Chains A and B, each alone.
Chain A
Amino acid sequence: MTGDGAVARRAQRGRRRGRLAVHTAILLTCAAWVLPTVGVLVSSFRSANLMRSAGWWSALIHPFQAGQWTLENYASVLTADGMLNAFINSLIVTIPSTVIPITIAAFAAYGFAWMRFPGKNALFAGVVALLVVPLQMALIPVLRMYVSLDLNGTFPGLWMAHTGFGLPLAVYLLYNYISQLPRDIFESAWIDGASHYTAFVRLVVPLSVPAIASFTILQFLWIWNDLLVAMVFLGTNPDVAIVTSRLTAMIGTKGEDWHLLTAGAFVTMIIPLAIFFALQRYFVRGLLSGSVKG
């Protein structure tokens, strides 16, 4: 009898120790994952002198010390380093580069899902094959085409490049969703004399809002965070450069001015982080459906 109780108690203690280990492991991992970003956030509000004389964590030890915090870094980064300009450029690049491919892809997904036309299967197989093609394959010929058409360094040129590169995943994801919509609703609409266009605008778009929202977030973040495509087609001219290429330029010229670099980095991250925290559910859904992206 007593032996049994001892065993049970020991097992319980073991389990409790196990749970403690689980909590510790999770908390430590979370800390390791978050601390680097917190460091940048804290540092972006500290003056240059303080940055050089002590690590950012000392600010957390004396948070109320006079002169501990400043907004000057942001003021300097936004104006002198052209981050404000780059921020507007990023918006000008990102919004159309998100909307255009989704529009085109939604029409195409409906076509692939609910229309009959010759060559459909082969074309769709082509779209799937293009999912994983590294976009490095396309950069040089497209750049040459742009040079001859005088499109390099322009916003429309970059929108169209992002559209082309984003389309395979967009068509694939939206197809997966739109083809699963119940057949009946389309048939009754068609019988009522609705054209494909009407069916698309009135039925497919409203019903596909979850899929469209998920892909919008993925594409928005991917373009906002992109460096490669923007560097190649837009160049590094500060007039048109977006936040990621401005930040890259800053690393080159002010590599040790940590008070400015951290503020600059935070300017580039503010929109993605806001979207992430506000729309996390859609973001997760997009990732779950889009884990084949090339």
Chain B
Amino acid sequence: MSQPLGAPPLPRKSIPGVAVRLLRVLGALAAAAAVVFLLAHGLELLRDRQAVEGFLGEAYQRLGISNDAVTLTEGGLTALSGKLALGLIALLIGVGGAWAVFWAAHNLVAQLPYRWRERVVPFVFVGPAILFLCVYLVLPAVKTISASLSEDVLAIPDLVPEPYRESPRVAADFVGGETDWTFSGYVLDAGELELARVRDGERSALLLVRPEQVPAEGGEEQRALTLTAIGLRNFEFAFTSQDMHIAFRNNVLWLIVCTGISVALGLVIAALVDRVRYESAAKSFIFMPLAISFVGASVIWRFVYAWQPPGRVQIGLLNAVVTAMGGEPIPWVVESPLNTFALIAIMIWLQTGFCMIVLSAALKGIPHEIVEAARIDGADELQVFLRVTVPAIRGSILTVGTTVFIATLKVFDIVYVMTGGRFDTEVIANRMFVEMFTFRNFGRASSLAVILLLVVVPIMVVNVRNLRRQGINE
């Protein structure tokens, strides 16, 4: 290519210029290598407790704090000083790590020729986020859908004799002998609970071996189960079992009652506090539960609902009120269907503040003239509220409702902590957790997760469509 006219002649590349450039490239490479090295080592250290103990022990030894050093190397990370040191390492790696990676990547890219750089830079900026989203959300979602259709825990107790457990033929031997099920490894081997994965071509299943649950007979029946254990069986369970019927009924109750009352109450409170001078203080009180965890809220309300047999001192607030008025103490969390409403009340307590804050901001955005005009036309306060105010903030009400709806759909902590799903309080999200965490029945748990996803698909579609309509920055 010839030089454009009028441009000053390019300086000839001098040797020092090349050397500087080379040095820069080498420097960027070295920096990147150093970041990778430090992060890899740091993460390794954090992964392996013993390594941390050894590392800290050695460090303490060098610093001359030998008492603590001995405790640490002998496996005493519970010592407060060790814990704090571990925390510092963790924070350094966790907080500095992400920045260091971007910085190193930027240095590397900066060494590329201009045209290449312009093409690569966007992916340095966006790439890590996309990578994380793929690894932690997109791929898992695909796998969960596939697992819901293809996996089942086969509750075959203790049918696998000890010597067979390591054998690749184990499944073929006990799943009936005629199939091509092959053993493809233990998923979990934790003493009382063992899970093996077996495969037959496309189909795969998990085998649960729980020595404490050994029905002497029934082996045959269980074997028959294995062969039909695929396809929509997990969903069949989800839609036909008695437990799940209760869970579905409760979920519908949660969604309607919790969303409805939270939004309505939030709206009314927002409208009321708009008229008083201590507005911000009142809002703070109602809004405070939002900072409290579901578990914390559950303890708070478990205490409010606490029940003692009649005649004993009631230390729970509600039963104290009930008995003071001459009633019998009510076992709020045990009596069905009252208990489901008692649990829903906790979620309402948590979510109303959120609704109030958003709707209050929306209320303040309504032009004064509209409200005044309605008043002058002779509308009373209730009419103004229902005919003018509410329609004006319809959009905000919808958004808030959707947010509370999604939060309620996924609620698990409250049920898990308050009742564990007993006394007919089961909901889908809690059952999903129990199937996964307690029973290790990943196929069923996956099918329940898919059901939760199906409920929010319409919301997802609307969100993406709105985005399309608004367009994104070019």
Contact check, A269 vs B293: say whether CB atoms are below 8 A apart: yes
| B214 within 8 A of partner (CB) | no
B49 in contact with A239 (CB, 8 Å)? yes
Classify the secondary structure of B's interface with A. Answer: helix
Question: What's the Cα separation between A114 and B122 when bound, in Å?
Answer: 9
CB distance from B162 to the nearest CB of A (A): 23
B473→A114 contact, CB < 8 A: yes
With CB as the reference atom, state the residue of chain A lying closest to B445.
Answer: A140
Q: Mark B453-474, 1 if CB is under 8 A from A, else 0.
A: 1001001100110011000111
Report chain A residues within 8 Å CB of B290: 276, 287
- Taken together as a complex, chains A and B put the C-alpha atoms of A116 and B464 apart, in Å, by 20
Residue A292 is within 8 A (CB to CB) of chain B in the complex = yes
A7-49 toward B: CB 8 Å interface, digit per residue (1/0)? Answer: 0000000000011001101100110011111011001000000
With A268-B295, A294-B406 in contact, do A141 and B126 touch (Cβ < 8 Å)? no
A293 to B106, CA, bound (A): 31
Closest residue to A51 on the B side, CB-wise? B315
A160 touches B136 (CB 8 A): yes
Which of B66-120 touch A at CB < 8 Å? 77-78, 80, 83-84, 86-87, 90-91, 93-95, 97-99, 102, 106, 110, 119
Q: A117-B122, A227-B413 are in contact. Are A40 and B436 (CB under 8 A)?
A: no
Are A141 and B144 interface neighbours, CB within 8 A?
yes
Which of B47, B354, B432, B433 is close to A287, meaning CB atoms less than 8 Å apart?
B354
**A104 with B296: in contact, given A84-B80, A133-B141, A165-B137 (CB under 8 Å)?**
no
Assess whether A167 is in contact with B132, with CB atoms less than 8 Å apart.
yes
> Is the beta-carbon distance between A161 and B315 smaller than 8 angstroms?
no
Quick one: CB contact mask for B138-169 with A, threshold 8 Å, 1 for yes? 11110110010000000000000000000000
Q: By the criterion CB–CB under 8 Å, are A111 and B125 in contact?
A: yes
Please report the number of residue pairs spanning A and B whose Cβ atoms sit closer than 8 angstroms: 355
Secondary structure type dominating chain A contacts? helix
The reply to whether A291 and B84 form a contact with Cβ atoms under 8 Å apart is no
Indicate whether B402 reaches chain A with its CB closer than 8 angstroms: yes
With a cutoff of 8 Å between Cβ atoms, the chain A residues found around residue B294 in the complex are 225, 227
Query: Does B300 lie within 8 Å of A37, measured CB to CB?
Result: yes
Interface centre among A113, A115, A137, A143 (most CB of B within 10 A): A137
Chain A residues, Cβ within 8 Å of B442: 140
A253 at interface (Cβ–Cβ under 8 A)?
A: no
The 8 A CB mask of A256-281 against B (1 = contact, 0 = none) is 00100110110011001101110010
Report B's interface with A, CB cutoff 8 A.
43, 46-47, 49, 77-78, 80, 83-84, 86-87, 90-91, 93-95, 97-99, 102, 106, 110, 119, 121-126, 128-130, 132-133, 135-141, 143-144, 147, 187-188, 269, 272-273, 275-276, 282, 284-296, 298-304, 306, 313-317, 320, 349, 352-354, 357-358, 361, 381, 399-400, 402-403, 406-407, 409-410, 412-413, 416-417, 429, 432-433, 436-437, 442, 445-446, 448-450, 452-453, 456, 459-460, 463-464, 467-468, 472-474
Residues of A within 8 A of B (CB): 18-19, 22-23, 25-26, 29-30, 33-37, 39-40, 43, 51-57, 84-85, 88, 91-92, 95-97, 99-100, 103-105, 107-108, 110-117, 120-121, 123-145, 147, 150-151, 154-157, 159-161, 163-165, 167-168, 171, 179, 195-197, 200, 221, 224-228, 231-232, 239, 244, 247-248, 251, 258, 261-262, 264-265, 268-269, 272-273, 275-277, 280, 283-284, 287-288, 291-294
